[in-house]
Structure 1
Amino acid sequence: MSGSISAAATAATPGCHALWMPANNRQAPLLLYLHGARWNVKGSSPRIRRLNDMGFSVLAVDYRGFGQSSKTLPSEASATEDARAGWDWLARKAPDRPRYIFGHSLGGAIAIDLAASVKDESGVMVESTFTRIADVVSSMRWGWLPVGPLITQRFDSVNKVAAIGSPLLVVHGSADPLIPVALGQQLFEAAQEPKRLILVDGATHHNTQTKAMAQYRSALHELFGLNLTKSRS
């Protein structure tokens, strides 16, 4: 591939590690990537590379308590602080370029919180995410088994999503066994226009993006007005 991932040492708060993957096009839009609770930026690299391949320059942040970031106990507050620090780093990196926010799973909740609190994002994408943590736990017979410290937090996205002032893309797999598709639909319904919902038939929690690349590209053009140049040759 033509892009390469490198450390962005100044991307976030002290103790927070991030990876930077620029696109070939120096005028490419910027994207902040926010991962889920079971992953870090290293484990998320295939998804990061696909977004880079779409034409974004991507900054992926490991919240404190994840990956190579400091081993402190993560919380909703610290994760949102780290996301905001990454967002501000992108603004300093290229203040003249549009910035977008992407969140997968739990990262979708962090993305919505960030987008609801800033006014300078050009668009938001959330994939395989939910209304609030309590709804995920109650929707499953044994709750969300791969828990962890962040699962004890509220992440009340359904009451924040309407505050987003930019176009919103919600993507969800119809066969997601961890976060029921109904929660993604409810989150979408609570959002304001302009918005788009992509339901990927047969996709699970982890392969939604690979099954929906053409739908992603169409939505990026129709919802965000983007005509992106691929990063890979």
Structure 2
Amino acid sequence: MSSLPFFRTRARTLVSLLIAAALAVLPIGCSMLEQTERELVFRIEPGTASWFSGLPDGVQELELTAPAFAEKQNIHAWWWPAEQADAPAVLYLHGSRWNLTGHLFRLEQIRALGFSVLAIDYRGFGKSLGELPSEASVYEDARIAWDHLKSLQPDATKRLIYGHSLGGAVAVDLATDLGQASDDSAGARALIIESTFTNLADIATEVADTPWPIRWLVSQKFDSIDKIDKVGMPVLIVHGTADPYVPARFSKELYDAAHQPKRLLLIEGGTHNNSMRIGRQEYRKALDELLAQPLSISG
């Protein structure tokens, strides 16, 4: 949905900011640097996406809270149950820039595959109240949403995690966390990540085309490559071969680092946002194969 020049400009701005701060020994202060970095990473577009024409029938709007939330904090969510009773349910974790109104098309595609969908806006996005998100806060929001999904679909064998782009890193972190828990009833059947990257430093370096050691400067790590080998559930990694924002080689690296059972699905000609649509049949087959794997619930 975002244009390539916009994406590259933001990435180069982030890299330039980090380099300038390092050279100047952080004269603007670490907290201000981190604030600006978070603005550039999440690059939130306020309001409603221009292509959003309203919620379909059957979508329920929810407000999730947690004891640790301040007075003006909540998580706005959509719950869209499948037509089939007790269908498998997916937690949808979106990427940067657009709130839920910009992601309805993908939620429609997931539901058309036979899944119920719980989708959230992280605090600071859309109708979710809160300050500018951080890596820590979006991880926390995903865990709160997961706890709610457990009440919507109590069967751990019918719960999946899906993350797109930056949301892929959030999904990997959640799946890793579930894999370290001791309660099997809290777990997930599978992890699906699409159009995502190895870590934030790698994608920033790729887009900005700089030899500078960016990984030592970023505070928001989103380091999936160091976590995915701890995911204890089947993993489906999807990427379009024509993605202009995030190279498909990042998904190949994640696939190499993940444990079996795993599947890498490269959609020929797919871009950052349309792989599920143009590769629908391949996607469906890969999901069926994934869910046919021997049951081993992490969580």
- TM-score calculated relative to the size of structure 1: 0.88
Contact 2:78/2:120 (CA < 8 Å) preserved in 1?
yes
User: d(CA) in 1 for partners of 2:99 and 2:289?
Assistant: 30
Residues 1:72 and 2:139 are matched in the alignment:
no
Counterpart amino acid of residue 232 in structure 2 = G
Structure 1 residues 161 and 3 mapped into 2: Cα distance closer, same or farther (>3 Å)?
farther
Corresponding residue for residue 226 of structure 2 = 159
Of residues 110, 121, 135, the one that matches 2:170 is: 110
SS of alignment partner, residue 153 of structure 1: coil
Residues 1:9 and 2:63 are matched in the alignment:
yes
SS of alignment partner, residue 173 of structure 2: helix
1:66-122 Cα shifts (integer Å, max 9, x gaps): 111114110011101110111000112231352100000000000000000004110
- Where do residues 142-221 of structure 1 align in structure 2 (5 Å cutoff)? 153-221=220-288
Contact 2:64/2:74 (CA < 8 Å) preserved in 1?
no
SS of alignment partner, residue 170 of structure 2: helix
Higher relative contact order structure (alpha carbons within 8 Å, sequence separation ≥ 6): 1
SS of alignment partner, residue 9 of structure 1: strand
1:151-174 Cα shifts (integer Å, max 9, x gaps): 851100000001111100000011
User: d(CA) in 1 for partners of 2:232 and 2:284?
Assistant: 21
Counterpart amino acid of residue 40 in structure 1 = N
Which protein is richer in helix relative to its size? 2
Residues 1:82 and 2:136 are matched in the alignment:
no
Structure 1 residues 166 and 100 mapped into 2: Cα distance closer, same or farther (>3 Å)?
same
Structure 1 position 127, deviation (Å) = 0.4
SS of alignment partner, residue 117 of structure 2: strand
Corresponding residue for residue 110 of structure 2 = 51
SS of alignment partner, residue 140 of structure 1: helix
User: d(CA) in 2 for partners of 1:93 and 1:214?
Assistant: 28
Structure 1 position 50, deviation (Å) = 0.7
Of residues 13, 25, 31, the one that matches 2:84 is: 25
What root-mean-square deviation, in Å, do the aligned CA atoms of Structure 1 and Structure 2 show?
Answer: 2.0
User: d(CA) in 2 for partners of 1:128 and 1:2?
Assistant: 26
Structure 1 position 124, deviation (Å) = 0.5
User: d(CA) in 2 for partners of 1:56 and 1:214?
Assistant: 15
Contact 2:89/2:117 (CA < 8 Å) preserved in 1?
yes
Contact 1:11/1:18 (CA < 8 Å) preserved in 2?
no
How many aligned positions are there?
219
Residues 1:121 and 2:180 are matched in the alignment:
no
Contact 1:11/1:86 (CA < 8 Å) preserved in 2?
no
SS of alignment partner, residue 186 of structure 1: helix
List runs of 5+ in structure 2 lacking aligned partners: 1-54, 180-186, 211-217, 294-299
Counterpart amino acid of residue 79 in structure 1 = V
Counterpart amino acid of residue 168 in structure 2 = G
Q: Which range moves more in the overlay, 102-111 or 213-222? A: 213-222
Q: Percent of counterpart pairs with the same letter?
A: 45
- TM-score calculated relative to the size of structure 2: 0.69
Q: Which range moves more in the overlay, 152-161 or 122-131? A: 152-161
Bigger radius of gyration, 1 or 2?
A: 2
Corresponding residue for residue 229 of structure 1 = none
Corresponding residue for residue 95 of structure 2 = 36
1:188-225 Cα shifts (integer Å, max 9, x gaps): 11100000001111111111111111111101111112
Structure 1 position 11, deviation (Å) = 6.8
Corresponding residue for residue 134 of structure 1 = 201
